[in-house]
């Protein structure tokens, strides 16, 4: 059935959102009285407020935050920019950030972007165009003018797990944790070590790779490096083939995240018949929920997504209160969780 123009317009009117004018009409007050009622700190008579609130509840009215953002040139939107946010620890961190931002009264917007300069700039322009209050970066190497463009538009930047000049940061002790993994292996008599990394080249992954290699060599161990294409399960399978199918019989492997560790462990046991930890000790990084599964029982370094989300939100508040201050930094010390894979 094809609707006539008048009937179609009527249907559109039926679907529209309840407006402040609707509330004012039902409450018998002015439009400005409705606006003042929903503006924190604004002056409004108790009787008027009561009329407006009862009318709003009856109609199901909600404040138009987008309209307020246009008027104030500022919104409660906070962008979360991530590559593959559905994978591994990043998924848990994105979920924790969304929850923390909602509790703060913000509206989180997740932008699933690539790692190229063009993709990251496009994400940023989208957030600035919607007058987002802040951007939280979880991955990718930001372009040089990323932070400057944000600052010129009054938008704060929080980088998690990376050092970003000019941005507020939640730093993770990647290098120290990787060095601790090497020390643990050597202390338990392992001298031929491997590291399963990836070609992603993200700051966190690079810090873990470099920290392990340097510490292992300084302790007199031989360190063999292998990298999968991505920092995921498939990348772990690739790295395992490189590390475990050669002439060298590795004794222990540090994996730059748990997803890689899962792929490496499955390959070692299913394809090569190795026993973990008897034939090969394995340490991961992140402590995602699957790390405790009976199939893996992975020794790994724990990052707390709830703590990191809380720190990121705190940085947004501190920047709002001190817009001209030097960059703020919060630090996270990953905790070693010992399980069966490296006892």
Q: What is the mean pLDDT of residues 325-338?
A: 94
The pTM (predicted TM-score) of the whole model is 0.78
Q: What is the pLDDT of residues 81-124, one digit of tens each?
A: 888 888 899 999 999 999 999 999 888 988 877 666 677 777 76
How far is Cα 160 from Cα 85, in angstroms, rounded to an integer? Answer: 13
| Predicted local confidence at residue 203, as pLDDT | 84
The residues near 131 (Cβ < 8 Å, ≥ 6 apart) are: 69, 70, 73, 74, 75, 77
Output phi, psi for 231, to 5 deg.
-90, 65
Residue 123 to residues 128, 201, 231, 236, 343: CA-CA distances in angstroms?
9, 20, 22, 29, 44
| Predicted local confidence at residue 208, as pLDDT | 95
Higher pLDDT, 165 or 207: 207
Query: Residue 106 burial by CB count (10 A; 0-12/13-18/19+): exposed, middle or buried?
Result: buried
Q: Are 57 and 42 in contact (CB under 8 A)?
A: no
Domains detected in the chain? 5-63 (1.10.260.40), 74-172+306-334 (3.40.50.2300), 174-303+337-342 (3.40.50.2300)
How far is Cα 317 from Cα 315, in angstroms, rounded to an integer? Answer: 5
- Reading the block at residue 63, the tokens are 């404040």
What phi-psi label fits residue 145: left (phi over 0), alpha (psi between -120 and 50 degrees) or beta?
alpha
| Predicted local confidence at residue 38, as pLDDT | 77
The residues near 199 (Cβ < 8 Å, ≥ 6 apart) are: 227, 228, 229, 230
End-to-end CA distance of the chain: give it in Å, rounded. 70
Please name the residue ranges forming H helices in 130-202: 146-152, 174-187
| Predicted local confidence at residue 143, as pLDDT | 59
Higher pLDDT, 241 or 84: 241
For tokens 């294409």, name the residue.
229
Q: Are 142 and 133 in contact (CB under 8 A)?
A: no
CB count within 10 Å of CB 249 equals 10
Peptide bond into 258 cis (omega under 30): no
How far is Cα 242 from Cα 194, in angstroms, rounded to an integer? Answer: 10
pLDDT at 283 over 60: yes
Q: 112: part of which helix (H) or strand (E)?
A: strand 107-112
Q: pLDDT > 90: what percent of the chain?
A: 53
Q: What is the pLDDT of residues 149-182, one digit of tens each?
A: 777 777 788 999 877 778 899 999 999 999 999 9
| Predicted local confidence at residue 105, as pLDDT | 87
Q: What is the mean pLDDT of residues 303-323?
A: 94
pLDDT at 142 over 90: no
């Amino acid at each position: 059935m094809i609707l006539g123009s008048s009937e179609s317009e009527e249907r559109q009117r039926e679907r529209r959102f309840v407006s402040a004018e609707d509330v004012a009409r039902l409450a018998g007050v002015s439009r400005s009285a409705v606006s003042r009622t929903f503006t924190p700190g604004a002056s409004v008579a108790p009787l008027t407020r009561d009329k407006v609130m009862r009318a709003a509840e009856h109609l199901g009215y909600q404040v138009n935050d987008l309209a307020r953002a246009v008027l104030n040139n500022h919104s409660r939107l906070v962008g979360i920019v991530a590559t593959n946010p559905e994978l591994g620890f990043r998924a848990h961190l994105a979920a924790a950030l969304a929850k923390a931002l909602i509790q703060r009264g913000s509206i989180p917007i997740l932008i699933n972007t690539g790692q190229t300069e063009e993709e990251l700039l496009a994400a940023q322009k989208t957030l600035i165009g919607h007058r987002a209050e802040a951007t939280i970066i979880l991955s990718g190497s930001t372009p040089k003018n990323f932070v400057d463009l944000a600052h010129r538009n009054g938008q704060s930047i929080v980088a998690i797990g990376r050092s970003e000049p000019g941005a507020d940061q939640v730093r993770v002790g990647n290098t120290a944790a990787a060095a601790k993994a090497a020390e643990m292996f050597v202390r338990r008599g392992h001298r031929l070590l491997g590291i399963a990394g990836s070609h992603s080249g993200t700051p966190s992954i690079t810090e873990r790779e470099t920290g392990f290699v340097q510490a292992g060599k300084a302790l007199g161990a031989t360190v063999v490096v292998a990298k999968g294409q991505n920092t995921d399960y498939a990348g772990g399978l690739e790295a395992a083939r490189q590390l475990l199918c050669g002439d060298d019989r590795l004794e222990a492997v540090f994996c730059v995240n748990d997803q890689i560790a899962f792929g490496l462990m499955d390959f070692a046991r299913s394809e090569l018949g190795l026993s973990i930890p008897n034939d090969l000790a394995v340490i991961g990084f992140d402590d995602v929920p699957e790390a405790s599964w009976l199939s893996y029982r992975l020794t790994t370094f724990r990052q707390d997504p709830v703590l990191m989300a809380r720190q990121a939100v705190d940085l947004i508040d501190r920047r709002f209160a001190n817009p001209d201050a030097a960059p703020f930094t919060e630090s996270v010390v990953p905790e070693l969780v010992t399980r069966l894979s490296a006892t």
